[in-house]
């Protein structure tokens, strides 16, 4: 519907242009607006391209996260992690495209176009990092891996374009990082519940400790952060509550039930919990 409207507008514009070409000599105002038309179109095109790349980044990052959730139920965790690694590398290439589009631009001018993708990427990258190293990936570490070496270009006409050393970087903004980390906590909660289901008794406690640190961090920032951060704080609290509850049950029931039966108790419990309490 919207598309057709745009088409119509374009046709309209062409009609007016045609009229101008054949009719009265184009006035100063018309010629000025023709320049504006080009400028606006160029900008909108770039914006649309960025939205498209960002959507791809989001989809691939989500898939990586799903893949990482399988880590609890398979024997060979390392293989899954490596696969996730290579998936994330593909995502990085996409972000390289964003960086290329943004070359020489003010990144905040187009920030709205790609922020969802970047947040999802931060979520995936930090999730992988947590599973590997049991720690929070820092903003600097993420940014350090977003340096792209451009393939040698054929001798270009304008040497200014080549830039110094031909390297292209993309900087994740602190607020995108924060929002990505806030999303990460939801994934960690899911990881906790599913690892309980697999009879893994250590992971939930580690996770609850880690989540508590992040929670404290977010409270330290409080409402000085961007508006979206305070919205995510509520969800973060819920996730933390679920993980803490799980740890609590684990302690209480763990002392009653012989170790070898624990797995059975939790796998049936989590089957009850998961469907309605898991994140949507």
Give the three-class secondary structure for 37: helix
H helices of the chain, in order, are 2-22, 28-69, 77-101, 111-133, 139-144, 174-197, 202-221, 227-256, 259-277
Question: For other proteins, what does the binding mask look like between residues 93 and 112, x meaning CB under 8 A?
Answer: -------------x-xx-x-
Query: Nearest distance from residue 218's CB to other proteins, in Å?
Result: 7
How far is CA 209 from each of CA 126, 163, 190, rounded to the nearest angstrom? 16, 45, 15
Q: Say whether residue 40 binds other proteins (CB under 8 A).
A: yes
CB atoms within 10 A of CB 265: 17
Of 108 and 255, which has the nearer Cβ to other proteins? 108
- Tell me how far apart the alpha carbons of residues 115 and 113 are, in angstroms, rounded to a whole number: 6
Query: Nearest distance from residue 254's CB to other proteins, in Å?
Result: 27
CB 227 within 8 A of CB 173: no
Site for other proteins in 58-87 (CB under 8 A): none
> Site for other proteins (CB under 8 A): which residue of 67, 97, 205, 225?
225
Of 9 and 79, which has the nearer Cβ to other proteins? 9
Burial category of 191 from C-beta neighbours within 10 Å (exposed 0-12, middle 13-18, buried 19 and up): buried
> Site for other proteins (CB under 8 A): which residue of 32, 144, 257, 261?
32
Q: Say whether residue 227 binds other proteins (CB under 8 A).
A: no
Applying CB under 8 A, the residues found at the interface with other proteins are: 2, 6, 9-10, 12-13, 16-17, 27-30, 32-34, 36-37, 39-41, 44, 106, 108-109, 111, 135-136, 138-139, 174-175, 177-178, 210, 213-214, 216-218, 220-221, 224-225
């Amino acid at each position: 519907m919207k598309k057709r409207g745009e088409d119509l507008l374009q046709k309209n514009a062409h009609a007016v242009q045609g009229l101008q070409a054949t009719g009265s000599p184009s006035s100063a105002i018309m010629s000025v607006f023709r320049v504006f038309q080009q400028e606006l179109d160029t900008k909108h095109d770039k914006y649309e391209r960025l939205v498209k790349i960002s959507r791809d980044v989001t989809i691939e990052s989500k898939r990586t996260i799903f893949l990482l959730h399988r880590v609890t139920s398979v024997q060979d965790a390392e293989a899954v992690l490596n696969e996730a690694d290579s998936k994330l590398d593909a995502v990085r290439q996409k972000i390289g495209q964003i960086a290329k589009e943004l070359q020489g631009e003010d990144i905040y001018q187009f920030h709205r176009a790609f922020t969802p993708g970047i947040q999802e990427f931060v979520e995936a990258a930090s999730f992988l990092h947590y599973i590997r190293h049991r720690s929070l990936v820092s903003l600097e570490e993420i940014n350090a891996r977003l340096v792209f070496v451009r393939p040698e270009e054929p001798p270009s006409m304008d040497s200014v374009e080549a830039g110094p050393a031909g390297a292209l970087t993309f900087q994740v903004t602190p607020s995108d990082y924060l929002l990505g980390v806030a999303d990460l906590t939801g994934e960690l909660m899911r990881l906790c519940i599913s690892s309980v289901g697999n009879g893994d008794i250590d992971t939930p406690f580690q996770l609850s400790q880690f989540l508590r640190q992040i929670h404290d961090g977010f409270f330290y920032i409080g409402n000085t952060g961007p508006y979206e951060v305070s919205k995510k704080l509520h969800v973060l609290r819920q996730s933390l509550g679920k993980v803490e509850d799980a740890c609590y049950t684990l302690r209480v029931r763990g002392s009653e039930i012989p170790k070898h039966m624990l797995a059975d108790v939790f796998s049936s419990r989590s089957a009850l919990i998961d469907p309605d309490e898991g994140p949507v």
